Every structure is written in structure tokens, then in C-alpha cells.
């Protein structure tokens, strides 16, 4: 698989909007010519259902097991894969923005494994422990490395394995080195 195509209609709520864009390039990466679903906040994109976005999630989706914590609903792209994974027991998704929930939740796949919590990942009071955590809720509010450190501090004792979307880009041969990779390479 090289893409998870979502079925979220165009729309807007508050500062967020979903658009459909026909292109063969996204954020400097060649893509198959197709129509992509894109989630925007104000004037910048947050997520899209491109092959590049899938590659950012691919390793996590293959390794997901047991109880899974997901920071950020986005386009709900990971839901179907996690639902179909027989090694996944439960999925808790934390989404800060009600506007994103209103645009996406009713249209994305879900079943009894998946629970959505409307809360800020920075302030939420965790109510469980997880086997793996996927933190994909960063929207530029601080440096990515700061986000990673904060998530490790808050969730490190609650998640046996913590993953971040940006940390896979350079290792997969595309994109820029993540701050996490640069920090780790100094040691």
C-alpha cells in the first residue's frame, strides 16, 4: 500500500477547511496525478491523503499493537488500518479542535476499537496506559523537537513506545532531517 485515500467531503468550520486538490506534486514531493483531500488551518495545510503522508505513517501502522494512543485526528487516515489490524486492541484518539472533529469524525472509519477524546494533548489527563503512542498533533505551536520532548515527558511513562510523524522522513530518503534525528545524531 502506498496511500490511504480518505472519503471526507469538502467543507469549512471556523478556521479549518477540507479541500480537494488535483495535483501531481505536494510539498516538494512528486505524487501520482490524482485528487487529494487536504485539511487546512487558516492558511497552512495540516494533513493530506498523499503517498508522502502515508509514508510518514507507514512504520507506525505496521508496528501498531495492543492499546494505541493517537495524538491528532487529522483526516482520520490511520483509523481503517488500525481497525483492521488484529494486533490492535483499542485506539484512543485525542483531538484538540472541535472544528476538525465536526469536519472529519462522522466521515472517517470507526468501530468499537476506536475512542475519540476532545481534548488538548498538552493538557489532557491520561486515563490509561498504551503499548504504542503516535503523536501527530503538532501544528507549529513550538519547535518540533520541543513538541517531542513535551510528549515524552507527559506520556513516556504511559506509552511503552512513542513515535512521531516527522522522525521518519529523512530515514526514508525524502524530506528534511527532523529535529529529533539531528538531536539524536549529536550523541
Q: Write the CATH number for 129.
A: 3.40.50.150
Whether 28 and 93 map to the same domain: the answer is: no
The verdict on 164 and 84 lying in the same domain is yes
Q: Is the pLDDT of residue 185 over 50?
A: no
Instruction: For residue 31, name the pLDDT band (cuts at 50, 70, 90).
Output: confident
> Is 5 a domain residue?
no
pLDDT tens per residue across span 44-99: 888 889 888 888 888 899 999 999 999 999 999 999 899 999 999 999 999 999 99
Does a structural domain hold residue 87? yes
Beta-carbon count within 10 A of 120 CB: 12
- Position 171 scores a pLDDT of 45
22 and 91 co-located in one domain:
no
The pLDDT, as a whole number, for residue 141 is 63
Same domain assignment for residues 43 and 90: no
Is 124 in the same domain as 89? Answer: yes
β partners of residue 164: 135
Give the helix ranges, DSSP H, for the chain: 51-63, 79-84, 98-104, 144-155, 179-186
Q: Domain range for residue 34?
A: 11-49
Please report the pLDDT score of residue 170 as a whole number. Answer: 42
Mean pLDDT of 24-31: 81
Highest mean pLDDT among 2-6, 86-90, 136-140, 175-179: 86-90
pLDDT digits (tens, 9 = 90+) for 109-154: 999 999 999 999 999 999 999 999 998 876 556 677 788 888 999 9
Q: What is the pTM of this model?
A: 0.85
**Domain-located, residue 178:** no
| 16-43 b/e (C-beta count within 10 Å ≥ 16 → b) | bbbeeeeeeebeeeebeeeebbbbbbee
Q: How many domains does the chain have?
A: 2
Amino acid at each position: 500500500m502506498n496511500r490511504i485515500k480518505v472519503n471526507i467531503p469538502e467543507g469549512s468550520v471556523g478556521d479549518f477547511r477540507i479541500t480537494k486538490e488535483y495535483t501531481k506534486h505536494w510539498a516538494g514531493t512528486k505524487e501520482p496525478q490524482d485528487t487529494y483531500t487536504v485539511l487546512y488551518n487558516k492558511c497552512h495545510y495540516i494533513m493530506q491523503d498523499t503517498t508522502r503522508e502515508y509514508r510518514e505513517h507507514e512504520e507506525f501502522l505496521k508496528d501498531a499493537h495492543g492499546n494505541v494512543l493517537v495524538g491528532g485526528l487529522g483526516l482520520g487516515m490511520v483509523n481503517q488500518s488500525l481497525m483492521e489490524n488484529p494486533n490492535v486492541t483499542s485506539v484512543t484518539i485525542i483531538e484538540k479542535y472541535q472544528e476538525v472533529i465536526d469536519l472529519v469524525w462522522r466521515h472517517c472509519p470507526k468501530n468499537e476499537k476506536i475512542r475519540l477524546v476532545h481534548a488538548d494533548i498538552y493538557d489532557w489527563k491520561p486515563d490509561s496506559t498504551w503499548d504504542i503512542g503516535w503523536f501527530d498533533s503538532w501544528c507549529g505551536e513550538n519547535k518540533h523537537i520541543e513538541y517531542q520532548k513535551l510528549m515524552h515527558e507527559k506520556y513516556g511513562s504511559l506509552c511503552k513506545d512513542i513515535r512521531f510523524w516527522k522522525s521518519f522522513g529523512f530515514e526514508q530518503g525524502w524530506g528534511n532531517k527532523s529535529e529529533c534525528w539531528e538531536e539524536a545524531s549529536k550523541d
